[in-house]
Structure 1
């Protein structure tokens, strides 16, 4: 019995040795995957094959897809052109080497890349999404990489709405320093401001209600303006030159329910505030209004560092418009800063109210030349009510700004 067992093992060993040539060689997986020629909708994928084979499966899909559910290409070389991709989207790619019909390599390690960002379109298209000012879901208000988000050192009141502000410049171009006021903008620059309310200021997880996005575009040396009204689903906004009234409710920081009929201005209303000597002009982004720190970084310095502002090297040479909410400042500085950002665009030489009123409310205007004292009674009467065509401001608000009115009343009364 032992002899038979030994013969069986010996015969099996001989048989195995005689079939060494039938063993399948290892098919190694592809390595060093890379992407080149990336556009908004295409990319070229390359890889190395240690087997020197000429047949490959390439599978790809939106990042996170399950193997077997993606798009598969069969290639005879170590490159593949991926087409019909989505812009601003991350894709995963896997390569499998086909050494023979019954000998495939393991899948390569996943390789990920993102398609290019769509360029900003400096035109008033029917839908806000067509301007490419935002990436991803429009309602997330995630700025395109081609835009710069900015804020103002002192706020402009619009019925307690929050605002997101952005500037998008043509690729490779810059704003140019032109003193403490507005920089010089190249043609095809876009300035946009989106107005929204947090549904509950005590619980931001409750989301927000986006109402409108106001857009200024520099076209052939002049600014043109348009408003986009957001839909209820918060997926897009449509160009609306006629204006609209939108009922809005929210919970304020004190936990109190608030309700207003928010007024989206018409193009004519926008021009009322955005005009000077009959030309359309921006209001907010003066350099002295941008000259302050956000999260430890000076905005002007960020513009310089990001090669968006030319002709300025030292932000400290630019004046600063004070923050009217800074109670460490004197009453006059706070009140004059509030008047500047909320009122001066009309009460200034060339402004909408220049003929009807002698008030000149720019922060830099000397008090004796501002006519604030001579107009004190009128100021008090008009800032404390919302009578149509009488209360101030004439447009842009439907309710009183309690904090702002309180500041101005205190300031005017201090002049007596």
Structure 2
């Protein structure tokens, strides 16, 4: 079922106003604390300003703002930049969301206040939640099976058409990863270069000037932000989020080439990158696969890194099938390093995989024979048994020869 609604992202709309109910303090003979007004103002992308007014006893000496970002339980607190308690409490808090405290659009922020009186007694207010979005725009949302698209200033029909296409194609990603749970990732669509500069996380000046990245997935928050209503970008970043769900063990340390390669494997329009790989192959400029554990820094290297990652993963999928890839992910999720995981799955390590892929680029039909890891152990046992048998026969033959 597809749902459509309007998200009014006007600053302060998500705040709560009026009497918020009495909050009992722990001090003797103290009257209740009553929230008169509490609101927030998003000054995107730099900060969120929280304002508080409360009717409270004069012995309340301090107030803190506690908040959580996204679906995690990690609580952060901050002190007010302004606090008075003469006839009532007036306080203002600032949470920085810019370069040093970046928060992606689309996340939900839950917050509450903690008051402390002169005896050290603490009083906790009710919590409130709002969605962090640029208040310049009137946001709309469209909910699909696994994700919700949040957008502004685009035709609804175009969004529905793209979302339906992406939703169908993401079923193949689910199948590869073996995911059966219910997910509700958020996909925030932005429309311009200026909006991307405000919405994307800090990157190098060169990367920003060349508009190197078209989107980002924030696994910690189950949120992605992409520039433009682009089917491939949405599939790419959603695959990253599902990849993170598949490798849910803290012991899993997948290399970046595998993560990016799988994300690009599912892009319907990603085939053009193979020409970049062939040019680098002919000029001898390919990056050794062993050196691709993380994304490089220079824009030219980044482009080649992505193209190579896509080519290597496509080679693995075409030659050995999705079942082997699923086994590889299981090995990584159990804490094996990439070399160990590849050997356990394909019978080859990183370097041999790299050589086989390069021979494939050269058009050679003989790549390498994939070995069944289970058969390796069986072969070793059989080989040892044959060696023992042969040795026994040889010893008997030598004894007979001496006679």
Q: TM class by shorter-chain length?
A: under 0.3
Q: Which has the larger radius of gyration?
A: 1
- Normalized per residue, the structure richer in strand is 1
- Normalized per residue, the structure richer in helix is 2
What's the TM-score once normalised by structure 1's chain length? 0.26
What's the TM-score once normalised by structure 2's chain length? 0.26
